[in-house]
């Protein structure tokens, strides 16, 4: 069976158009090359020559969109783009610029689409966008940022926000509370992730924090580091730091910085020391040995002593390391 792409007629509904002329048909022609021919030679065992893109093919590949030959072509292209989704005047002007380098044709096409009601004015677009954004619980910051990217003037944006928020009775604090209520629990999400999600919807960290202050689960909300620390294995993290030749004092500090519970740290160190999995005395010796510090004079030993203490080793471990290396010299 041969699969062939055929001409299609697309029907779409544009609610902002004239109700008496709301349904529009667009006839889009596709080439009739069978799909089987398109994929021939691309599968397993394909001929090497078929896969060589350096060889000229029978059909020249277009370098870009087909250029318009008349203003009617530009108008048709504009109507097609508007059938896919709403565009601002700036967005549509940019897309039509790919079809022609004739600015007069572009402006005529824009004017015609405005006359037909297919294209919204910037004021209409901004007002409609504000209403949709507020209905979907998005804040004014999101509206400003998005409309600015779409080429809407800042003054138009502000007027639309004021009008829409006033008519819809918008209170962003209530919107933030509604969004927070959609989370089953705050125990499994980090504060950074939550703040980022609200920021993308157009709400500031201050707005979020103000609402969180009254949230019943506010104490359960933890930072990303705290969530990671709660899941970490104390033994695994301890072994990592010992392999880096760090003493117990520094290990304790770093584990606390990672929000890892260290209540059983001393007992775990004793257990691993008895089993031979760790040896902080030998670790201190190896650490000093790699530093290649001279130990000839009292001043040299004092420097070595201070270095190992800063690495977190206790006085007994430091003395052991210095004596062992002094004897070997």
pLDDT tens per residue across span 67-95: 989 999 999 999 999 999 999 999 999 99
> What is residue 49's predicted lDDT score, i.e. its pLDDT?
37
Other Cβ atoms within 10 Å of 257 Cβ, number: 10
Q: How many degrees, rounded to 5, is the angle at CA 73 between CA 71 and CA 76?
A: 110
pLDDT at 292: 85
pLDDT of residue 171: 96
Domain with 202 in it: 172-225
Contact 309, 250 (CB under 8 A): no
Q: Are residues 91 and 113 in the same domain?
A: yes
Q: What is the pLDDT of residues 157-196, one digit of tens each?
A: 999 999 999 999 999 999 999 999 999 999 999 999 999 9
- Cβ–Cβ < 8 Å for 153, 90: no
Stretches where the chain sits below pLDDT 70 are 1-64, 329
- pLDDT number for residue 258: 94
- What is the reported pLDDT for 21? 44
Question: Contact, 5 vs 35, CB < 8 A?
Answer: yes
* 167 Cβ contact partners less than 8 Å away, ≥ 6 residues apart: none
User: Is 192 inside any structural domain?
Assistant: yes
pTM, full prediction:
0.65
Asked whether 127 and 164 are in contact (CB, 8 A), the reply is: yes
Asked whether residue 4 falls in the same domain as residue 115, the answer is: yes
Answer whether 226's CB lies under 8 Å from 239's CB. Answer: no
Say which residue the tokens 């940022």 belong to: 145
Mean pLDDT of the chain: 84
CATH of the domain at 131: 1.10.10
| Statement to judge: residues 260 and 312 lie in one domain | yes
- 95 lies in the same domain as 202: no
Pair (161, 252) in one structural domain: no
Cα distances from 158 to residues 155, 190, 206, 276, in angstroms, run: 5, 33, 21, 70
Establish if 263 belongs to a structural domain: yes
User: Is 103 in the same domain as 132?
Assistant: no
Q: What's the structural domain count of the chain?
A: 4
Q: Name the domain boundary from 130, 146, 168.
A: 168
Total residue count of the chain as it appears in this document: 329
- Say yes or no: 246 and 153 in one domain: no
Please indicate, yes or no, if residue 55 is contained in any of the structural domains: no
Other beta carbons less than 10 A from residue 314's beta carbon: 16
């Amino acid at each position: 069976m041969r699969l062939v792409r055929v001409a299609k007629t697309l029907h779409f509904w544009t609610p902002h158009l004239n109700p008496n002329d709301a349904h529009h048909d667009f006839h889009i022609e596709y080439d009739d090359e069978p799909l089987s021919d398109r994929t021939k030679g691309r599968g397993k065992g394909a001929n090497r020559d078929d896969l060589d893109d350096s060889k000229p093919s029978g059909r020249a590949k277009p370098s870009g969109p087909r250029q318009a030959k008349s203003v009617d072509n530009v108008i048709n292209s504009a109507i097609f783009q508007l059938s896919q989704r709403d565009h601002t005047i700036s967005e549509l002007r940019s897309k039509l610029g790919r079809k022609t380098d004739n600015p007069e044709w572009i402006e005529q096409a824009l004017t015609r689409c405005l006359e037909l009601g297919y294209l919204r004015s910037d004021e209409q677009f901004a007002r409609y966008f504000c209403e949709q954004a507020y209905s979907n619980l998005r804040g004014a910051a999101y509206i400003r940022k998005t409309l600015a990217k779409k080429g809407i003037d800042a003054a138009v944006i502000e007027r639309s926000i004021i009008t829409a928020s006033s008519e819809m009775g918008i209170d962003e604090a209530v919107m933030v509370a509604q969004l927070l209520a959609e989370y089953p629990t705050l125990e499994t999400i980090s504060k950074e992730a939550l703040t980022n999600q609200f920021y993308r919807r157009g709400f500031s960290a201050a707005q979020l924090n103000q609402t969180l202050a009254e949230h019943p689960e506010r104490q359960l909300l933890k930072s990303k580091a705290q969530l990671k620390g709660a899941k970490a294995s104390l033994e695994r993290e301890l072994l990592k730091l010992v392999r880096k030749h760090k003493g117990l004092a520094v290990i304790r500090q770093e584990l606390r910085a990672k929000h890892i519970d260290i209540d059983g740290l001393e007992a775990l160190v004793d257990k691993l020391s008895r089993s031979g999995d760790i040896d902080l005395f030998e670790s201190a010796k190896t650490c000093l040995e790699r530093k290649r510090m001279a130990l000839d004079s009292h001043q040299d030993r004092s420097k070595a002593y201070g270095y190992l203490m800063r690495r977190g080793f206790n006085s007994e471990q430091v003395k052991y390391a210095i004596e062992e290396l002094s004897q070997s010299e």
